[in-house]
Amino acid sequence: MARGSLIVFEGLDGCGKSTQLDLVFDWMQARGLDCVKTREPTAGAWGQRIREMARSGEPVAREDELAWFMEDRREHVRDMIEPALERGTFVLCDRYWLSSVAYQGARGLDAAEIQRANEAEFPDPDLAIIFEISPEEGMARVKARGGVGEPVFEEVDFQRRVQKVFDSLDRPWIVRVDARGSIDEIHERVLSVLTERVVRPE
Ligand code: ADP
Ligand code: MG
């Protein structure tokens, strides 16, 4: 059986990752394609710890934060992503290690070193879509979304630094999509990337 494809959704908070991932999932299911959706941080023990840290605003050393993300990803790849890829499934993942590079890089760690460590240990995505939006517009969407924000990750200055790192990432499997416009317009952009890059017509 052919190996599946890992498709990751990346970009600033509020850029529309989760919205677009759900639409791709529904689109694939309607076509009878075997697909799963997942996200980082995960619902596992490490992921819960990261979410709790982000919610409470508790100060955590950036090295520890990075280490928790790596532990979470280690379990995620071993227990979920790799088995699904081996079954030939499309794996749709809401954030992956590009976010570790961008966010922990924005906290002042060496972005290139984080990327090196992740590339050494974890599979490359077959496709990473980075949704491009200004920090202001992303934050406005997050505010409109309501609910509990993640104070550690959501200030505009910080988002600007995150964006710089996302902008600097350069791999052949990265595609940047303009995240401005209506949800439907962006979905159309995503589908044209998918059909060009990973979803072969039956
Ligand atoms: P992310 O997962 O990247 O943080 P979401 O998909 O949760 O972003 O989108 C953030 C908020 O903005 C949600 O309330 C969502 O409904 C809304 N949203 C998503 N895409 C658009 C869009 N193209 N235009 C306006 N609002 C959007
Ligand atoms: Mg989301």
Number of H-type helices and E-type strands within the chain: 10, 5
Look up the pTM and report it: 0.95
Report the length, in residues, of the chain. Answer: 202
Please give the single-letter amino acid code of residue 146.
Answer: G
Closest protein CA for atom 11 of ligand 1: 141
| Cα 170 to ligand 2 centroid, rounded to whole Å | 23
Pocket perturbation via mutation, ligand 1, pick of 38, 141, 145, 188 by most ligand atoms within 8 A of CB:
141
Residue 191: count other Cβ atoms within 10 Å of its Cβ: 15
Residue that is written with structure tokens 């749709």 in the block: 92
What's the pLDDT score for residue 202?
Answer: 59
Ligand 1 binding pocket includes 78 (Cβ within 6 Å) = no
Ligand nearest to the CA of 130: 1
In order of start, what are the domains of the chain with their CATH numbers?
A: 5-197 (3.40.50.300)
- Give 25-71 pLDDT, tens digit per residue: 999 999 999 999 999 999 999 999 999 998 888 899 999 999 999 99
Assign 186 a pLDDT band (cuts: 50, 70, 90): very high
What's the pLDDT score for residue 195?
Answer: 96
Strands 90-94 and 5-11: parallel
Ligand 1 binding pocket includes 138 (Cβ within 6 Å) = no
Which ligand 1 atom is at minimum distance from the Cα of 179? 23
- Cα 122 off chain centre by: 14
Residues 6+ away with beta carbon under 8 Å from 18: 9, 39, 94
Type and span of the H or E element at 168: helix 156-168
- Give 100-129 pLDDT, tens digit per residue: 999 999 999 999 999 999 999 999 999 999
